[in-house]
Structure 1
Amino acid sequence: MRNSNFFGSDKKKIHFFGEYHMFHKTKVNRAVVAVMTATIAASTAGLVTAEGMLEEIVVTATKKSASMQDIPIAVQAMTEETLEEQNVTSFEDYVKYLPSVNAGGRGPGQNEIYIRGAAVDAINISVAESQGSAPNVALYLDEQPVTAGGRNLDVYITDMERIEVLPGPQGTLYGASSQAGTVRLITNKPVIDEFAASLSAGYSSTAGGEDSNKVEAMINIPLIEGKLAVRAAVYTDNKGGYIDNVEGTFTANPALNPAYPGNSVDFAEGHIFGNGTVVGEGGVTIPVNYTTATSSGLVEDDFNDVSYQGMRLGAKYLINDDWSALIQFTQQSLKTQGVFDYDESLGDLKVARFTEDSLEDEFTQFAWTLEGRAGALDLVYTGAYLDREVSQRLDYTGYSNIGAYIPGYQCEYLTGPYYHGLDIGQANYSWDPTLSGNTGVIECGNPANNFNAENENTRMTHEFRVSTDPEASLRFTGGVFYEDAEILHIGNFNYLGPAEAGFTPIDINLNSSLDDADANARGLVSPATQFRNDNHRNEEQIAVFGELSYDISETLTVAASARYYDLEYGFTGYGAWRYGNRPLFTDDNDPTNDVIPNVTGGRDYAQKFNVLQPISTTDTITKFTVTWTPNEDLLMYVTSSEGYRPPGFNRGAAQKGTYDGTDCVDVAANPSNGFPGYCLPYKFDSDTLENLELGWKMTMMDGDMRLNGAVYRIDWKDIQVSQFDSQNISIFTIVDNGGDAEITGIEMDMVWAASDNLTIFGAMSYNETELVRVDPGFSFVVQDEGRPLPLTPEFQGNLRARYSWDMAGGMEAYWQLGGKYSDKALNSIVDTPTEPNTMQDSYVIMDASAGVTTDAGWGVEMYVSNLTDERAQLHINRQDFLERTTTNRPRTIGMRFNYDFN
């Protein structure tokens, strides 16, 4: 529920930050605010009232309230009215309308945000919490950073004041993960002495899919006149599925995974099998039998359902004329079934999944703010506590065609004495048909696998800011920021073949080296769990920041800002596995004779990274800006800024034992594994981004048009790149600094009041990206120099027209038509023989709507999303080691109703 008029035709003043801001009735002010670096409509679009007046947009991009047109920073602000007009409810909706912003991922709550082309590819979701890099774009919910690698906090867009996008490094004011930009979700706050309430409902039908429905409500109640008000918003949104899980089969393929034994195995004369049998003269050839998995038990049409349910409560108290206090509580539950990427080889919107796919993503946030004045200073203290819990199951069957050790679990394979504890000599580490079943065949069991994650992310933040008089020629804003964040992650990798073969379960209590491990859970787990990550990541930082601005003259201003930060990152917990715990020489007639090894291997990361814990990063980053305002219709600025991203650990680097003072593990030390001589670092370093930007904000055509934009040059050094390649590098996912890139781009947004009835919104971005250096040691993973960065269309643009007119009886009608175009884009920076990157097609998406509103407070709208039923390739990924395409929702026709009780 977005409050005010649901369909964007409110004839009243629009409320921002508890104050009314409205320009005088001049021709200049009848123009529409431009800003739409984001929108099929206008991302940062201003509001045009029925009287043709331009509403000022107040933003807090500089950590204090200011008119968007008066600050020397690129800001794309989707206002409350814009969000309504474009029916934005979730992450996928608002990202679609922001041409400077892209995302990589595979469904609700499983994306990473990229701005201005600074993109790589999202880390595999199964290890995002365990080991993934921090994102390079910060996501804020009001005053708190809620950034999470691989898992954007997918906040439902209801009763939202605006969404601000701040492109380019914002590190001096917003910290570590604001390397390439910041996205801020800013909620409506309680309004003193104003009763307001609204109710809205919607219903829609998706072509070839299931129907969807939603209900939202908001109420703002003054409790003590002039002192206290409370506000509540509640919502439920059920989005029907549109992807079919069809019947399919999967068989392990030795051609794709050479670790499998092939179609048969030759044993030389004299070879001794595990049961003591000696191969006779001339040797013997044993055939291999591969079990085929089927998805028949999970076949379902339109199986990717989504539901958002939640609430937000807030209270604002005016302590006195100078001080106020605000508290807010937000709770949301996001649940999904199925997947949101499909297999193009199986047909349109079809996929074959062999185990369950589901997600439950819940969060609560408590936030509080105290602000006021002390003499000539504005003071703000704000804090928040976030608790997010994620439970996910996903099909991991594709791992069977990439895992270097998976054949040892699925097939009859005799491992060494560490695992089976038997003295059977030369038969160790070999395929062996005598272990169970038919001794004349090597059996490879069920190749279906699944992954089950249980994550908890908690984050406590505090920030104190002070600002001087914004009208003074010398101005200062500064403060102190503190954050304490931790991730508790349990990731169970479940292989069905070993479970069906009777492997014993993992039990870390059997492994003395894990006795002191920092475990979130101990003891027995599912019989199918062959590998477990049980990790604890914690990050603590304190930062001091400030920005000083000075008006050299009435038209020229210089500003300098800096941020000093001290960040500590720790990584503890364990990785545990069972391998070779297959029942040996089983006797169906007398199971007491069966040999069932029971060994759990593992590593304690606190011990393996002993000397390196914690990683401590201390530095100062800066930003400089020169602003020129020759007249009230033009502002130009030049900015030089920089951003950074924290370092982290590589679990796989501990494979040779405890850290011994060297910088990396030379995997060539074991050439029999086919490792290419890659030196795997114990920790990967920060990557940095430097930006030089020229921007402008102008009013044209006697105030009937506004045009904002910026050109920029970005140098991105030591890019963090993740990869999983157990055949050639490591049994674990690794992250390393892969190289450097350059980005040259331009972004513009425009709003044109073509007439009293017609408003045109437009926005575009053009990014020329190039990988200019590849680390020679990592070149077998990273694509060649000279190629573009992934997930970045060279050109993106959108255009929207909205026409409204008065009708009899106090009614107003409107229609709206918009479209977005996106160039083709590369899907990943990783380019290997087994995982070649590919180009995603260009696409056009069209939306249309028409509706009526009345002075009585009600409105109704008919809309069509994805008018041409375009199947956009939003992200071609290999997260499950099989190529899938994340796409947009098919053509959807719907109706929305709204009633404003004001």
Structure 2
Amino acid sequence: MKTSKKEYFKKTALCLAISTVISSPSVAFAEEVEAKIEGIERINVTASRRVSSIQEAPMNITALDSDVMKDQNITAAEDVARWVPGLTISDQGGREGASIIVRGLNTNSSERSADGGTVATYLGEMPFNADLRLTDIERVEVLIGPQGTLYGAGTLGGAIRYMLKQPELDITEGEVTGDIFTLSESEGTGAEAGLIFNTPIIEDVLAVRASVNYFDTPGYVDYTHVVREPGVSLPDPDWSNEAAINENLKSVADVNDEQITTARLSVRWQPTDWFDSTLNYFYQKQENGGNSIVQHNTINNANGIANRINEYDSAYRVEEPNEKEDDLLSLELKADLGFAELVSASGWSSYDQVGQRDQTDLLYDIWSGYADFPSFVAYTRDTGVEDSFTQEIRLVSQSDSALSWIVGGYYNNTESSSDDREYTPGLTDYWGGGIPNVEKDLEYIALSSSEVTESALFGELSYQVNDKLSLTVGARFYEYEITSSSGSATPLYSGDFEELDQIEFDHSKAEDDGNLFKFNASYQLSEDMLAYFTVSEGFRIGGANGLKDCPDELPEQQIVCALPNEVGYEPDTTTNYELGFKSTWLSNRIHFNAAVFNVDWEDAQIAAVSVNGQENITSNAGAANSKGTEISTRAMLTDSIIAYATYSYAKAELTEDAPYLFGVKDEQGTALQDYYDGSKGDRLPGAPEHQFSLGVSYEAEVFDDKMLIINYGLTAQSDVYSKVGLKADGEILSGYALNNISAKLEGGDWSATLYIDNMFNKHAKTSVRRDKSWAGMAKFEQENRALPELQRVYGHYVTKPLTVGVKFNYVF
């Protein structure tokens, strides 16, 4: 049976996407009726600020198009990472989002948000830091390695670009999608439904594209020991008395459920052949029931609670819901000036979140006296708001000469504020009442605001020396300014706190400027082999932590303040040296691509906490390095079977000692014990050294006119360190492998897909919260760790359990 050219293009899209990893060619295979291999299917990308196929762009980039995303059930950032060697994204549930690490560049622990902002994310042309549900996406472009010259701050490790599908000016079309699925550890059923519609208003001139999508997934983690009435019920009753346990505590099943509503409206106007404009509005709302942390074997067993916690259980005392809203309004204008294309990209984005956390353990750690109140629990009500405006203008040359160039300007202004409050229900009355307070049982309040302004000039100059050699140099000259203010109070201690304006604010300011450079040389070794060498730089802005200086003599009660080394933090930078090649063999039946890299990281920023008040701050860790290799290959084994494989290795470690890396110091700022320092040669945490993926795609015609497509994928990784060099009670999270399989039946305008993710129900730890010292199980116990038998904060994120679902798709 012969396969049509159209069917060949579609079935090879999967392998095509994988082959692009190491700047590989975007080559697809097509077979004529006479079984003659011909042609190339182009997947165009714009990561270089020019429209080109990946084969024409000598850079480390992967592109996943919409067909691949549908076939492989790619709906979130962590799914994308399965296809990109060197990219690690740990799924930490909707409550915390995804932790993104490239080439092991991470000095934080493998806690939530461990990436610390080393990879920038974009929606189209605009920076947009949201945990997106990937619907109505044309393609995802992943740039590996520092991208500072064209993409600016935050691209120390790379950049991820989510490209929305553009409105079509000449066609009316629509798409309806549906999904029903179950998780092995859940009592509920998940579902997803979406609608996409595109229509011209004025044919070839004005068009509208709209989409809406709703995703509802049941949770798989149970909060088994939630207090029935905070401040009244006992969080630690007599664990040998089942009646007392049931009287005071309740279980909440599948608490880490998630609902995501995504909507998009785009208007495209192209009045002439030289002008094109698109107005986009994107909106996403996430509602999360709780955290995805489990505490099996991570709780001290002195009081008997540990024996009651199973593999998918958490022992938090209060529920931890969270709600987030993100939106983006962008305007993209393109004008063909003949000698160059003029592009203007403007964006206005906002972010709002409100949430609640169990804060009991943190307060126990600050002062063990809270335990005198038998019903003591604490929780936060935290809110955050961020508004941002971004403007970029650039000119991209269009001449056919050997010399080409890009020049542009960039401006961003971001304003953010937060209001975090800790409540200790019942504590006011327990202490005798009569404490004047703006809110009853308000134990702590912290208010902060900041404004970041960044501007830059950037450009690249390329010269085609001959038909084989091309050289590119680039530069970015930037400056930024940060102003921040913060204030806090401890009302239950201060005794007279009835108005918020009683809070005294501390103000700080930080500013800097600098430059980044890039060099790239590409050489066409033969018609089917291209080599390239790149030196590129990336940076992240520094700033102030917004805490007031600590007084010379600290008071006895809780105080939030900064020691001299906690006041601010410096910018950090990366320099990447990379040599790679891409090749095609046997008349486009085999692709083999590889690169070796060496990345130096200076003044690496890390997440830390202040000694006084345990406030989240940023610090610097010193110097680090990552070196390794990335390999990708694919092969058309037969006319119906295609296989691919990827492998990456990254050895990431400190290259100099990093005193006070973990922020464990006494009140004078002296490290309590030497093992809390980072040492030269310590391995960096959060990412595996080895990653491997293997996939097979089979396609056949069935029932005379239907297509059956079966996809199998295996992804594996080696172990992960939870902290630098396993210091400060770090642990090894064992490596694991996941298997996924799907079968899709396609008939004209419709398709149905049966899929199984994590088909062998592998239970593995992906990252950690806190460490063993919080449960009294530490090898090196901290001297000030209080009441480990009461604390329940230490736990792990785990792989999502076996998921079985059926997807439906109809195009009209």
Q: CA deviation at 1:749?
A: 2.0
Matched, 1:136 2:150: no
**RMSD (Å) for aligned C-alpha atoms:** 3.4
Q: For residue 807 of structure 2, what is the amino acid of its counterpart?
A: R
Q: Is the 8 A contact 2:412 2:454 kept in 1?
A: yes
Matched, 1:685 2:576: no
Find the counterpart in structure 2 of residue 894 from structure 1.
805
Q: CA deviation at 1:552?
A: 1.0
Matched, 1:111 2:3: no
Q: Is the 8 A contact 2:485 2:546 kept in 1?
A: no
Matched, 1:551 2:464: yes
Deviations 1:639-680 (A, max 9, x none): 1111111112134461238xxxxxxxxx9x9999999x9752
Match of 2:652 among 757, 769, 782: 769
Alpha carbons of structure 1 residues 223 and 778: separation in structure 2 relative to 1, 3 Å? closer
- Report SS of the residue matched to 2:254: coil
- Report SS of the residue matched to 2:587: helix
Matched, 1:78 2:61: no
Matches within 5 A, 1:145-224: 145-147=127-129, 153-209=130-186, 210-224=188-202
Q: For residue 773 of structure 1, what is the amino acid of its counterpart?
A: E
Find the counterpart in structure 2 of residue 311 from structure 1.
263
- Report SS of the residue matched to 1:316: strand
Q: Is the 8 A contact 1:38 1:100 kept in 2?
A: no
Task: Please list every run of 5 or more consecutive structure 1 residues that lacks an aligned counterpart in the other structure.
Answer: 1-8, 15-21, 23-28, 148-152, 251-291, 412-442, 508-523, 583-595, 658-666
Deviations 1:611-659 (A, max 9, x none): xx2x1111111011111112231111111111111112134461238xx
Q: CA deviation at 1:334?
A: 0.8
Q: For residue 187 of structure 1, what is the amino acid of its counterpart?
A: L
Find the counterpart in structure 2 of residue 711 from structure 1.
596
Larger radius of gyration: 1
Find the counterpart in structure 2 of residue 240 from structure 1.
218
Matched, 1:642 2:537: yes
- Report SS of the residue matched to 1:55: coil
Matched, 1:68 2:54: yes
Alpha carbons of structure 1 residues 58 and 763: separation in structure 2 relative to 1, 3 Å? same
Alpha carbons of structure 1 residues 64 and 704: separation in structure 2 relative to 1, 3 Å? same
Deviates more, 1:628-637 or 1:178-187: 628-637
Deviations 1:249-272 (A, max 9, x none): 99xxxxxxxxxxxxxxxxxxxxxx
Matched, 1:838 2:731: yes
Measure, in 2, the Cα distance between the counterparts of 1:32 and 1:133.
29
Find the counterpart in structure 2 of residue 702 from structure 1.
587
Match of 1:384 among 347, 357, 364: 347
Measure, in 2, the Cα distance between the counterparts of 1:101 and 1:44.
20
Q: Is the 8 A contact 1:503 1:581 kept in 2?
A: no
Measure, in 2, the Cα distance between the counterparts of 1:651 and 1:11.
58
- Report SS of the residue matched to 2:185: coil
Alpha carbons of structure 1 residues 786 and 102: separation in structure 2 relative to 1, 3 Å? same
- Report SS of the residue matched to 1:642: strand
Match of 2:527 among 623, 626, 632: 632
Measure, in 1, the Cα distance between the counterparts of 2:14 and 2:769.
43
Deviates more, 1:861-870 or 1:750-759: 750-759
Measure, in 1, the Cα distance between the counterparts of 2:541 and 2:245.
42
Match of 2:412 among 483, 497, 501: 483
Q: CA deviation at 1:875?
A: 0.9
Measure, in 2, the Cα distance between the counterparts of 1:38 and 1:872.
27
Q: Is the 8 A contact 1:247 1:294 kept in 2?
A: no
Measure, in 1, the Cα distance between the counterparts of 2:121 and 2:40.
29
Match of 1:301 among 237, 242, 253: 253
Measure, in 1, the Cα distance between the counterparts of 2:350 and 2:152.
21
Find the counterpart in structure 2 of residue 35 from structure 1.
18
Measure, in 2, the Cα distance between the counterparts of 1:172 and 1:651.
29
Q: CA deviation at 1:599?
A: 9.7
Q: For residue 35 of structure 1, what is the amino acid of its counterpart?
A: I
Find the counterpart in structure 2 of residue 262 from structure 1.
none
Matched, 1:580 2:493: yes
Alpha carbons of structure 1 residues 602 and 640: separation in structure 2 relative to 1, 3 Å? farther
Q: Is the 8 A contact 1:298 1:353 kept in 2?
A: no
Deviations 1:503-553 (A, max 9, x none): 67786xxxxxxxxxxxxxxxx34x232112211111111111000000111
Q: Is the 8 A contact 2:474 2:518 kept in 1?
A: yes
Q: CA deviation at 1:359?
A: 1.1
Alpha carbons of structure 1 residues 651 and 133: separation in structure 2 relative to 1, 3 Å? farther
Q: TM-score, normalised by structure 2?
A: 0.85
Q: CA deviation at 1:106?
A: 3.2
Q: Is the 8 A contact 2:262 2:284 kept in 1?
A: yes
Q: Is the 8 A contact 1:400 1:447 kept in 2?
A: no
Q: For residue 799 of structure 1, what is the amino acid of its counterpart?
A: L
Measure, in 2, the Cα distance between the counterparts of 1:234 and 1:188.
14
Measure, in 2, the Cα distance between the counterparts of 1:760 and 1:528.
61
Matched, 1:344 2:307: no
Alpha carbons of structure 1 residues 106 and 654: separation in structure 2 relative to 1, 3 Å? farther
Find the counterpart in structure 2 of residue 733 from structure 1.
616
Q: CA deviation at 1:120?
A: 2.4
Q: CA deviation at 1:491?
A: 1.1
Q: TM-score, normalised by structure 1?
A: 0.77
Q: Is the 8 A contact 2:340 2:397 kept in 1?
A: yes
Measure, in 2, the Cα distance between the counterparts of 1:224 and 1:821.
50
Measure, in 2, the Cα distance between the counterparts of 1:238 and 1:46.
37
Matches within 5 A, 1:324-343: 324-343=276-295
Q: CA deviation at 1:398?
A: 2.0
Match of 1:368 among 319, 324, 331: 331
Matches within 5 A, 1:742-753: 742-753=625-636
Q: For residue 79 of structure 1, what is the amino acid of its counterpart?
A: D
Q: Is the 8 A contact 1:35 1:708 kept in 2?
A: no
Measure, in 2, the Cα distance between the counterparts of 1:187 and 1:478.
25
Q: Is the 8 A contact 1:506 1:530 kept in 2?
A: no
Q: CA deviation at 1:93?
A: 2.5
Find the counterpart in structure 2 of residue 757 from structure 1.
640
Alpha carbons of structure 1 residues 330 and 31: separation in structure 2 relative to 1, 3 Å? closer
- Report SS of the residue matched to 1:35: helix
Q: For residue 734 of structure 2, what is the amino acid of its counterpart?
A: D
- Report SS of the residue matched to 1:654: coil
Matches within 5 A, 1:307-456: 307-345=259-297, 346-403=309-366, 406-407=367-368, 410=370, 443-456=372-385
Q: CA deviation at 1:30?
A: 11
Measure, in 2, the Cα distance between the counterparts of 1:720 and 1:699.
40
Q: CA deviation at 1:238?
A: 0.5
Match of 2:421 among 492, 501, 526: 492
Q: CA deviation at 1:316?
A: 0.9
Measure, in 2, the Cα distance between the counterparts of 1:46 and 1:220.
29
Alpha carbons of structure 1 residues 32 and 893: separation in structure 2 relative to 1, 3 Å? closer
Measure, in 2, the Cα distance between the counterparts of 1:205 and 1:554.
56
Alpha carbons of structure 1 residues 674 and 400: separation in structure 2 relative to 1, 3 Å? closer
Measure, in 2, the Cα distance between the counterparts of 1:193 and 1:505.
69
Q: Is the 8 A contact 2:24 2:54 kept in 1?
A: no
Deviations 1:758-810 (A, max 9, x none): 11122221001111212335474443332211112010011110100112442
Task: Please list every run of 5 or more consecutive structure 2 residues that lacks an aligned counterpart in the other structure.
Answer: 229-243, 298-308, 663-670, 775-791
Q: Is the 8 A contact 2:335 2:343 kept in 1?
A: yes
Match of 1:854 among 738, 744, 747: 747
Matched, 1:803 2:698: yes
Q: Is the 8 A contact 1:578 1:599 kept in 2?
A: no
Deviations 1:446-499 (A, max 9, x none): 332112211111111111110112643100012111111111111112233534
Q: Is the 8 A contact 2:723 2:730 kept in 1?
A: yes
